[in-house]
Amino acid sequence: MENKNIAIGVDVGGTSIKGAAITRDGKVLDVFSLPIRKVGEQDQTMKELVDLINQYLKDHNLNKDNVLGIGLGVPGAIDVDAGIILSSNNLKWFDLHIRDIVSEGTGLPAKIMNDANAATLGEARFGVGKKYKDFIMLTLGTGVGGGIVIDHKLYTGNKDKAAELGHNAIVVDGEQCSCGRRGCLEAYASATALIRDAKRMMDAHKDSLMWKDEKVDGATAFKYAKLGDKYAQEVVDNYIKYLGEGLLNFFNAFRPEAVILSGGISKEGEYLTSRLYKYCKDRQFGFRCTPPVEIVVSELGYDAGKVGAASMFFE
């Protein structure tokens, strides 16, 4: 019998499910991908996922003799102990016993965890997070996810429901958030919010260079801000301000050594982090004796979730 140094990590996203065999030292082998063609069809999607994993295992000579198990990072409101996605508003999945379906379908042990926590755990164990004792992570994508590491360990709170850092209201009665409240950080700092704000600016200013692109996405405002479009610059400045206010809130609460940014918007890299750092440094609480918080970009990128989920088996 071989040494078991491999686990399968699966990241369930809003538009596709991606997975790979992950080695004990965090190496990502061949990635498989399953598009989610239609939301709401949870049984069909699970059947396709199980078939795909079984095919992947067969193709790579992986089986219960050399694989520790399958770790799944999943979205929505979940019950970790029961292995259930209770409710995913984006995917329209409800009471989905995803852990047992995957485990029974493949003959391998399976575990689930919150998707943002999985990405945070990946960074903590194998990415830029290794350097820090205490850090927080923010995923800036369709929504804003969060993760918290305290003393090198993931902090998940009561029933694993902590670290919903996107749902920190920074403007009471502000923009509507997907969670039901108004004014959450997610409603200002997600890619969705950035696209909304770019479109509003474009509607008000038909001479903006942002009109040149066929489609507005999370990169549009940044692209034309760099090209000197003053309207795009205003959108970006505003984005920095609101995200900066959210970061300051977390800095004052956690005083971590660093915040790690991931997700689509984090691809702006230094252009984004240097501006955020300046915004926060000028406004941080506690005068000269408060240590500034490093603002860095995820090292593992989109692999973080898969690696973190798999690493549940590397205890």
**Site residues, a copy of itself (CB under 8 A):** 77-79, 86-87, 134, 146, 148, 150, 155-165, 167-172, 179-181, 183, 241-242, 245, 248-250, 252-257, 283, 285-291, 293
Burial 104-130 (b: 16+ CB within 10 A, else e): ebbebbbbbbbbbbbbbbbbbbbbbbe
Sign for the CA dihedral angle at 15, 20, 24, 25 comes to negative
| Least separation in angstroms between CB 9 and a copy of itself | 24
Q: Closest separation between CB of residue 148 and a copy of itself, Å?
A: 8
Closest CB to a copy of itself among residues 19, 256: 256
Nearer Cβ to a copy of itself (126/279):
279
CB 141, min distance to a copy of itself, A: 17
The residue among 72 and 248 lying less far from a copy of itself, judged by its C-beta, is: 248
Is the distance from CB of 149 to CB of 122 less than 8 angstroms? no
Quick one: 293 exposed, middle or buried, by C-beta within 10 A (0-12, 13-18, 19+)? buried
Q: In this structure, what DSSP letter does residue 32 have?
A: E
Q: Which class for 182: exposed (0-12), middle (13-18), buried (19 or more C-beta within 10 A)?
A: middle
Do β-strands 93-96 and 110-114 pair in parallel, antiparallel, or remain unpaired? unpaired
CA–CA gap between residue 186 and residue 175 (Å, rounded): 9
Shortest distance (Å) from residue 166 CB to a copy of itself: 8
Which residues pair with residue 144 across a beta bridge?
A: 140
CB 225 → a copy of itself: shortest distance, Å? 20
Task: Choose between 17 and 165: whose C-beta lies nearer to a copy of itself.
Answer: 165
CB of 218 to a copy of itself, least distance (A): 21
Rounded CA-CA distance 132/140 in Å is 21
Token code pair at residue 86:
């209770």
Strand partners, 22: 7, 28
The pair of three-digit structure tokens given for residue 72, joined into one six-digit string: 């799944």
Name the strands in the sheet holding 153-154, side by side, starting at the edge strand that comes first in the sequence. Answer: 153-154, 144-150, 135-140, 258-262, 294-297
Smallest distance, a copy of itself to C-beta of residue 212, A: 31
Q: Which is nearer to a copy of itself, 167 or 306 (CB)?
A: 167
Residue with tokens 């979940």: 78
Residue number with CB closer to a copy of itself (19 or 146): 146
Find the angle CA(70)-CA(299)-CA(280) to the nearest 5 degrees: 125
Distance between CA atoms of residues 306 and 303, nearest Å: 5
**Which residues have C-beta within 8 Å of that of residue 141, sequence separation ≥ 6?**
190, 191, 263, 264, 265
Q: Which is nearer to a copy of itself, 67 or 112 (CB)?
A: 112
Decide whether 134 or 213 has the Cβ nearer to a copy of itself.
134
Q: Pick between residue 24 and residue 181 the one whose CB is nearest to a copy of itself.
A: 181
